[in-house]
DNA sequence: TTGCTCCTCACGTCACGTGAGGTGGC
DNA sequence: TTGCTCCTCACGTCACGTGAGGTGGC
C-alpha cells in the first residue's frame, strides 16, 4: 500500500503552504495522486514529497514557476545544465546591479561621478542596412547577435561592403519587462536591395557625446550608468539630446572579450 | 523662467514610462511641478529630471518604491549608508541563493548529496524559558537577537542559570514573505517566574537527527539545504519527523564568526 | 478639421496570503 | 454534536503594461 496524506500533512512535510500546493496543482506542476471527485479533497503520495521539496528549493533560488515546470522532470547532466544556465543568468544580473549600486553611492554622495569619461565627436552621414524590433531585456542579446548575422550575411551577398562600426539604436526604453523598439544598423558603401524586414536608410550626420564601456559595464543594468553619466553631462553643459542613444560596437564578438575589455561606445546625439 | 515639459517629454528624457510616472505621482514620490486643475495635464520641471533618473536607477538595482521613498531625499554619508545597507542585504541573499543553486545541481544529478553529514543523538527533557512570535524572514535575525537578550536578561535577574545551548524552534514555515511562529528557548536550571510574553515550559526528551552548519550555510535561503538533507535522510532511513525542526546555537555571537565557522546544528526530532 | 498627446478607469501579470462562507470526517 | 480540516471563490499585494473611451492643443 502506498502512503497517502492530506494536503495539510503534505504541506507540513514539504514546508509548502496549502495555497501554494493548490496553485501547483492547478498549473499541473504537482498534481495530487488522487482527488476525491465528490469532496474535492486532495490526497498526496509519500513519493511526491521529494518533488514538492525540490519545487520549494527552486522557488527559493528565485526560479519562476514556468521555468520550474521545464526543469523539474530533468535528471543527470540535462538537469545540471538547466540549473546552471539559470544561475549564470542570475549571476550576471546580480553583478550588474552591484555595479549600479556602487555608482548610486557615488551620485548620492555628490561624488562628481567621474567614473565615465565623456568625449564628443562629429559623425558623418552614412547609409545603413537596418532591422528594427521591439524586444525585452531577455531577448536583447539574442536579437543583436541574430540581426548582425543576418545583416552582414545580406551585405556579403551584395555589391556593398561594410563601412564603419555597427550600431544598436534604442528608440525607446528597454528594461526589465518593458520593451522598446531597438534597431541594429550596419553602415555600408555600395548598393544593396532591401529584403523582408531589412531596410535601408540614411543615418544623419550629427554631433554626439560618448563614453567607452567595458564588457562588465555593458550588461544590463550596469549599462544604465553610462546613460546616466551622459545625461548628467548634458545638464552640466546646457545641451539637449537630439536623437535616440546608441551603442557603437567596437568588437565583433562579445564572447571572446574579457570583463575589463572595452567593447562599445555608448553615444548620444545632442544639440544646444 | 523655469523649463516646463509634458509627461511625454519627461518620460523620454528620464526613460521612465508615463505609466510609471503617474504611479510615482500618486505615491508622492515624484510629483509634477504643476498639474492643470482643469485638464489634469502634468507639467514637470527640468530640475526634476535628475530625481526621476535616480528613481529609475534605484529601481534597476531592485529597490522597492517604498524604500526608494526613504532614500531619495538623503544626501552625503546618510545616502551612501542607506544604499550600502540595502545592497549588503542583497549580497547576502544572493550568496544564499548561489549556495542553494549548487546544492540543487547536486540533488538533480543524483549526487548522493553528501554535502551534509547527518548524525543522531538523544536529548534529555529540559525546562526552557521561551518566547514565541510570528515573524517574516526579514525580521527573523532581529527577533532572535532581541529575544535572546530579553530571555537571558530575565534569567540573570532570577534564581536560575542557563543550562545548555539556546534553541530556535520553527513551528511553521518561514520564508520570503510568509511567516511562521518561531520560538526562542533558553534551557535553564533553578526556578524563574513567567513575565509578560515570556513563558516557561518543558521541552520533552526526544531522539533527533542533526547536521552542523557554518555561518555561510546558516543564512536564508542557504539554510534550506540543511533542512532538505535531513528530510532526505528521514526518507532513506524510513523514519518520520516527530516535532518541529530547530536550530541549536553553538556560538553566542554571530557577528564575530567567520563564514566558514560552525555556528549551529540544524536538528529535527524523529521517530520510526 | 485632423492627428497626436494627454487624461482616467479597469483589467492583466506573478506567486502567492488572507479572509469569507460552506462542507466532510472523526 | 463539536472542533478541525478541507473546499472554492474573491480580493489584496507590487510595479507596472495594455487597452478602452474620452478630451485638449496645435
pLDDT in tens, A92-106: 999 999 999 999 998
Task: Give the separation between CA B61 and CA B57, rounded to whole angstroms.
Answer: 6
| Tens-level pLDDT at each residue, chain B (272 residues) | 468 999 999 998 899 999 999 999 999 999 999 999 999 999 999 999 999 999 999 999 999 999 999 999 999 999 999 999 999 999 999 999 999 999 999 899 876 556 889 999 999 999 999 998 877 777 888 889 999 999 999 999 999 999 999 999 988 765 544 456 789 999 999 999 999 999 999 999 999 999 999 998 888 888 989 999 998 899 889 898 888 899 999 998 888 999 899 999 999 999 98
A3–chain B Cβ distance below 8 A for any pair: no
Task: Give the separation between CA A225 and CA A232, rounded to whole angstroms.
Answer: 10
Which residue from B minimizes the CA distance to A73? B108
With an 8 Å Cβ cutoff, are A80 and B232 in contact? no
Q: Is the CB of A17 under 7 A from strand C?
A: yes
Task: Give the separation between CA B108 and CA A76, rounded to whole angstroms.
Answer: 6
The Cα of A101 is separated from the nearest Cα of chain B by a number of Å equal to 6
B272–chain A Cβ distance below 8 A for any pair: no
Task: Give the separation between CA B250 and CA B235, rounded to whole angstroms.
Answer: 27
In which band, very low, low, confident or very high, does the pLDDT at A69 lie, cut at 50, 70 and 90? very high
Give the pLDDT confidence score for residue A178 in this predicted structure.
45
Closest CA to B131 of B151, B115, B111, B149: B151
Dihedral, CA atoms, A45, A46, A47, A52, nearest 10 degrees?
A: 90
CB < 8 Å to B79, chain A: 105, 108-109
Q: Which residue among B54, B98, B101 places its CB closest to the CB of A107?
A: B54
Cβ < 7 Å from nucleic strand D? A 6-9, 11, 18, 22, 39-42, 177-179; B 17, 19-20, 23, 36, 38-39, 41, 59, 64-66
Q: Is the CB of A59 under 7 A from strand C?
A: yes
How remote is the C-alpha of B182 from its chain's centroid? Answer: 13
SS3 B116: coil
Q: Which residue among B16, B57, B101 places its CB closest to the CB of A87?
A: B101
Which residue from A minimizes the CA distance to B226? A57
Which nucleotide lies nearest residue A55, CA to C1'?
Answer: C15
In which band, very low, low, confident or very high, does the pLDDT at A4 lie, cut at 50, 70 and 90? very high
Chain A, window 28-67: residues with a beta carbon less than 8 angstroms from a chain B beta carbon: 49-50, 53-54, 56-58, 60-62
Name the least confident of A68-82, A108-122, A153-167. Answer: A108-122
Q: Could you give the angle at the alpha carbon of B168 between the alpha carbons of B165 and B174, nearest 5°?
A: 160
Closest CA to B186 of B154, B160, B169, B162: B162
Task: Give the separation between CA B93 and CA B91, rounded to whole angstroms.
Answer: 5
Task: Give the separation between CA A55 and CA A60, rounded to whole angstroms.
Answer: 9
Q: Which residues contact B103 (CB under 8 A, 6 or more apart)?
A: A57, B113, B115, B225, B228
Q: CB of A230 within 8 A of CB of A157?
A: no
3-state SS string for A62-130: CCCHHHHHHHCCCCHHHHHHHHHHHHHHHHHHHHHHHHHHHHHHHHHCCCCCCCCCCEEEEECCEEEEE
In which band, very low, low, confident or very high, does the pLDDT at A174 lie, cut at 50, 70 and 90? low
Could you give the percent of chain A with pLDDT greater than 90? 73
Task: Give the separation between CA B2 and CA A61, rounded to whole angstroms.
Answer: 49
For residue B225, report the phi and psi dihedrals to the nearest 5 degrees: -60, -45
For residue B5, report the phi and psi dihedrals to the nearest 5 degrees: -145, 160
SS3 A261: coil
What's the whole-model pTM score?
0.82
A88–chain B Cβ distance below 8 A for any pair: no
Q: Detail the DSSP E strand segments found in chain A.
A: 4-6, 34-35, 42-45, 119-123, 126-136, 161-162, 167-170, 179-189, 199-203, 206-214, 240-241, 246-249, 262-271
Which residue from A minimizes the CA distance to B79? A108
CB < 8 Å to B77, chain A: 109
SS3 A46: helix
Which has more confidence, A244 or B155? Answer: B155
Task: Give the pLDDT confidence of A16-64 residue by residue, as tens digits.
Answer: 999 999 999 999 999 999 999 999 999 999 999 999 999 999 999 999 9
Q: Is the CB of B40 under 7 A from strand C?
A: yes
Measured CA B42 to C1' C18 distance, in angstroms = 37
Nearest amino-acid residue to C23, taking CA and C1':
A39
The Cα of A44 is separated from the nearest Cα of chain B by a number of Å equal to 16
With an 8 Å Cβ cutoff, are B79 and A178 in contact? no
**Is residue A113 over pLDDT 80?**
no
Task: Give the separation between CA B180 and CA B182, rounded to whole angstroms.
Answer: 6
Amino acid at each position: 500500500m502506498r502512503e497517502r496524506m492530506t494536503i495539510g500533512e503534505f504541506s507540513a512535510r514539504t514546508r509548502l503552504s496549502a495555497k501554494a500546493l493548490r496553485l501547483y496543482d492547478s498549473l499541473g506542476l504537482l498534481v495530487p495522486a488522487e482527488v476525491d471527485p465528490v469532496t474535492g479533497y486532495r490526497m498526496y503520495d509519500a513519493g511526491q514529497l521529494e518533488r514538492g521539496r525540490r519545487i520549494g528549493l527552486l522557488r527559493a533560488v528565485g526560479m519562476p514557476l514556468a521555468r520550474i515546470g521545464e526543469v523539474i522532470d530533468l535528471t543527470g547532466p540535462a538537469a545540471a545544465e538547466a540549473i546552471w544556465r539559470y544561475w549564470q543568468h542570475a549571476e550576471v544580473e546580480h553583478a550588474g546591479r552591484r555595479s549600479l549600486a556602487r555608482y548610486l553611492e557615488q551620485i548620492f554622495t555628490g561624488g562628481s561621478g567621474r567614473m565615465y569619461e565623456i568625449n564628443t565627436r562629429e559623425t558623418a552621414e552614412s547609409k545603413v542596412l537596418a532591422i528594427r524590433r521591439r524586444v525585452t531585456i531577455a531577448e536583447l542579446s539574442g536579437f543583436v547577435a541574430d540581426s548582425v548575422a543576418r545583416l552582414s550575411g545580406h551585405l556579403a551577398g551584395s555589391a556593398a561592403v561594410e563601412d564603419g562600426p555597427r550600431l544598436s539604436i534604442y528608440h525607446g526604453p528597454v528594461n526589465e519587462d518593458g520593451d522598446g523598439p531597438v534597431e541594429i544598423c550596419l553602415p555600408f558603401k555600395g548598393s544593396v536591395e532591401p529584403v523582408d524586414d531589412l531596410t535601408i536608410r540614411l543615418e544623419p550626420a550629427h554631433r554626439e557625446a560618448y563614453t567607452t564601456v567595458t564588457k562588465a559595464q555593458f550588461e544590463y543594468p550596469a549599462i544604465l550608468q553610462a546613460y546616466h553619466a551622459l545625461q548628467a553631462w548634458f545638464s552640466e553643459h546646457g545641451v539637449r539630446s537630439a536623437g535616440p542613444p546608441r551603442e557603437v560596437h567596437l568588437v565583433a564578438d562579445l564572447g571572446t572579450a574579457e570583463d575589463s575589455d572595452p567593447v562599445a561606445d555608448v553615444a548620444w546625439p545632442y544639440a544646444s
